[in-house]
Amino acid sequence: MDLKLKDKIALITGGSRGIGRATALRFAEEGCKVAICARGQEGLDKTLAELQDLGVETFGTTADVAQKGDTERFINSAAEALGGVDILINNVGGTAGSRDLITSTDEDWQQTFDLNLFHAVRAIRAALPHMQKQNGGSVVTIASISGWKPSNRGAQYGSTKAAEIFLSGALAWELAPHNIRVNTVSPGSLYFPGGGWERFKKETPEDFARFESRELPAGRLGTDFEVADVVVFLASERANWINGAAIPVDGAQGRPNAF
């Protein structure tokens, strides 16, 4: 199937590893111009080289999207370098500080919201005028099944992911008159090089094996590229009538991890 993505301009926050890197490579395989940001220069350069090997125009810069101004700088610099913005993937996410309520601080919660929800707000706001110049666009935010159902010690992270899902649903209505679609993808537990589950497997292989067999109907974790395939389709014109959707990509896991 031709996704009609050739020469579209796709921007991905946190594009040097995991879902972000996989998504950037999938867009490049479809012939997109691709821009990525990352906090570390080494990982950024490595992924940019992989993208360039696929023969597409690229742009990359270091940025910490939790810091006010960095997100906007990335969006605007990428638009200038590549000629606009057609697609925005809000991929950066995580948790700051303690995950427990009693030991976490207001600053921990604020940083986690900055890293997840507010980074997406800033990125969409910055991309909007560029998409309007292109007569439309597509936004996909990477949320999590943690935003669907609660888990032990998951209040802080899950709250931000639930907020991202709500944000996309609301902005789908607000931005539809501008021909801009806004959706979320909610991954389950994923295994990829350098990821948390890889570390968990190395440190506690027996617990990892029990988790896989107990929580995953297929008996394995998903991969970053399996999520990226959905993200790229959702961003494409082939998904033109999907708007305001929250799509789980979790192999029927259905709930956040229990560890």
Listed by start position, the domains of the chain span: 9-193+224-249
Per-residue confidence (pLDDT) for residue 44, from 0 to 100: 96
Q: What is the pLDDT of residues 48-68, one digit of tens each?
A: 999 999 999 999 999 999 988
Which ranges of 54-185 does DSSP label H, i.e. alpha helix?
70-82, 106-113, 119-133, 155-175
Q: Is 191 a catalytic residue?
A: no
Whether pLDDT at 258 is above 80:
no
**Tokens 């597509």, residue?**
138
Average pLDDT over every residue of 116-133 = 97
Catalytic residue among 118, 157, 192, 208: 157
Q: Is the dihedral of CA 233, 236, 142, 88 positive or negative?
A: positive
Whether pLDDT at 103 is above 60:
yes
Q: From CA 131, how far away is CA 87, in angstroms rounded? A: 8
204: Cβ contacts below 8 Å, ≥ 6 apart = none
Average pLDDT in the chain: 94
Average pLDDT over every residue of 183-197 = 89
* CATH architecture, domain defined by 9-193+224-249: 3-Layer(aba) Sandwich (3.40)
Per-residue confidence (pLDDT) for residue 257, from 0 to 100: 64
Task: Kindly report which listed range (30-44, 102-116, 120-134, 141-155) carries the lowest average pLDDT score.
Answer: 141-155
